[in-house]
Amino acid sequence: MKEDENGKILMDFRKRLPNGDNSDLTYEDALPLLHFLDKYATGLIGYRTLALFYKLNRDKTLLDKLTSHDIAYSILLYENSTLVWKEDSKIRVDNPAANRSERLRVERHEVAKYHKKKGTKIRFGCDGWTEEGKQYFWQIKKEVDAMKKDECFWDTITKQWKVYCEKHMIVKYVDRVDKAIDENEVRDDTMDGLISLPDDDPDEFNDELDNNSGEDGDGSD
């Protein structure tokens, strides 16, 4: 995922001019956002939940299910944790024969950007996000709201999403596909409720997710 100099992602979409002419937005232009929604925002909802949604709403797609809150929170979580994930990935590459316990003993330098450090005692009822992280979440949500309210832009993204689904054979995401959905199906690139980078250890990331996200993700104490 492309990041700017401050470690922020999808800025070409988040900082675009509202109500601009998006008729020439190509599939390649839209691809970073489409990929993020498929691989990251989707993971927060869980594929079984999505499968049930598709089963009950045959004419709906992922973009109908995802709220601005969902998208904004997934962006925050990615930016919060990406340096930690990358360091963990490098440790695995540098120590191919090590088991999980041995990898956990390797000294780490990266910390979550907007969340209290791992091991910090968090007061009951609080979620561990820093005040900066909470404020940043609402900033991202305003940016996503603006994208979704721009009908020309979002209609174009919706059309390109269908192209993305066809290219990646995500047939259950395409409108009006009468396909029986196995509620037990789990796509092999992501586990329910997890967001993982390529080569991530799902068990390790599960620990990370538990420590870096509140129950409802609304950034409130």
Write the DSSP assignment of 39-106 as a string of letters: IIIHHHH-HHHHHHHHHH-TT--HHHH--HHHHHHHHHHHHHHHHHHHHHHHHHHH-TT--HHHHHTS
State how far the Cα of 156 lies from the Cα of 101, in Å rounded to an integer: 47
Bridge partner residues of 129 (DSSP): 115
Tell whether 140 is covered by a domain.
Answer: yes
Tell whether 156 is covered by a domain.
Answer: yes
CB atoms within 10 A of CB 63: 17
Structural domain that includes position 47: 31-212
Q: How much is the pLDDT for 175?
A: 43
Q: How much is the pLDDT for 8?
A: 92
CA angle 26, 30, 36 (to 5 degrees): 160
Q: How much is the pLDDT for 119?
A: 73
Q: How much is the pLDDT for 2?
A: 86
How many domains, in total, are found in the chain? 1
Tell whether 43 is covered by a domain.
Answer: yes
Tell whether 92 is covered by a domain.
Answer: yes
Give percent of the chain above pLDDT 70.
73
Q: How much is the pLDDT for 121?
A: 78
Q: How much is the pLDDT for 10?
A: 93
Distance, C-alpha 115 to centroid of its chain:
17
State how far the Cα of 109 lies from the Cα of 20, in Å rounded to an integer: 42
Tell whether 16 is covered by a domain.
Answer: no
Tell whether 221 is covered by a domain.
Answer: no
Q: Which residues of the chain have a pLDDT value below 70?
A: 17-23, 125, 171-221
Q: How much is the pLDDT for 197?
A: 36
pLDDT digits (tens, 9 = 90+) for 175-199: 444 343 343 344 433 333 334 333 3
Tell whether 78 is covered by a domain.
Answer: yes
Tell whether 206 is covered by a domain.
Answer: yes
Q: 30 with 157: CB under 8 angstroms?
A: yes
